[in-house]
């Protein structure tokens, strides 16, 4: 099964450091580093690093888009450029070397029209076989109304659509608009906000995932519980998996690595519960690597051997 990831609002992520962050002063900074930002990009990277195959479709525009494309080339990633209604945004973070605190500034990106979004969906339909899996991961772009993802599910059918987003788009999807995506994933903080409940136990989270599934938010609903692993609601039952890991170097990209491991497993023909286990192992591996290195194969193999899958 072909896997395509879609990143409509990528960012050229710049990072630097300064001795101390203070107002009303010129802050002399260290040389900046530049990386490709975007959930879909990270999902495709995770799949590629684990030995799978995925193609990242990334909307690029202007000088920032050219720079981001050069970075994607260095990652040895199979990627394709989508049109953009304006210059690719950039975001930047500044680390205060005195306090070790990081200040992150995330810009909005260009605004899309309904016509431009529809044209992008047409491009994806033309470029992907009907049995492909299409992953929407990360924030949706300005101009995309909360109903955009259900529209994408309808336009891309019968392709399997996987959604891992946040904010108003997640809230809308949780209401159960038809047609349902193949998978809807969220973290525990998002699930607690949507449910209005503390979701203290894994049973609580699994029960809410089942509420969302029966409502039509997704054919499969997954809720990540941080160190306690993830729960999943499917038509066949409720599941929990965990991959114990005492080594946490950086949590960056853990969620994207989970989605990558899960989607790669489904594409290989494995059942959803086994895909859940492998996604959890990929997420646990990601936190063992520094910065944005995501899930390294050796770490993944180690964590996969330590995962446990339980039917609730």
Bridge partners for 18 per DSSP: 29, 96
Q: Which residues are catalytic?
A: 256
């Amino acid at each position: 099964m072909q896997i395509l990831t879609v990143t409509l609002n990528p960012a050229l992520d710049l990072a630097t450091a300064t001795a101390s962050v203070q107002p009303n002063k010129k802050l002399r900074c260290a040389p900046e580093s530049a990386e490709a930002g975007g959930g879909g990009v990270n999902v495709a990277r995770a799949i590629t690093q684990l030995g799978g195959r995925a193609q990242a479709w990334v909307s690029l525009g202007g000088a920032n888009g050219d720079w981001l494309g050069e970075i994607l080339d260095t990652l040895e990633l199979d990627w394709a450029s989508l049109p953009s209604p304006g210059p690719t945004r950039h975001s930047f973070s500044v680390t205060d070397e005195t306090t070790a605190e990081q200040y992150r500034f995330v810009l909005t990106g260009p605004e899309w029209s309904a016509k431009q979004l529809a044209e992008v969906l047409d491009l994806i339909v033309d470029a992907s076989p009907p049995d492909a899996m299409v992953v929407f991961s990360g924030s949706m772009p300005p101009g995309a109304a909360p109903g955009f993802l259900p529209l994408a599910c309808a336009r891309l059918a019968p392709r399997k659509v996987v959604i891992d987003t946040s904010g108003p788009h997640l809230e809308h999807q949780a209401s159960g608009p038809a047609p349902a995506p193949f998978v809807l994933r969220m973290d525990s903080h998002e699930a607690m906000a949507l449910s209005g409940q503390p979701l203290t136990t894994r049973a609580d989270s699994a029960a809410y995932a089942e509420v969302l599934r029966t409502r039509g938010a997704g054919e499969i609903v997954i809720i990540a519980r941080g160190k306690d692993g993830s729960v999943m609601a499917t038509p066949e039952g409720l599941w929990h998996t965990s991959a114990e890991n005492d080594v946490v170097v950086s949590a960056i990209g853990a969620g994207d690595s989970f989605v990558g491991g899960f989607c790669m497993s489904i594409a290989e023909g494995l059942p959803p519960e086994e895909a859940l286990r492998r996604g959890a192992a990929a997420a646990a591996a990601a936190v063992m690597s520094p910065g944005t290195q995501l899930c390294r194969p050796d770490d993944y193999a180690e964590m996969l051997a330590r995962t446990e899958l339980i039917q609730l």
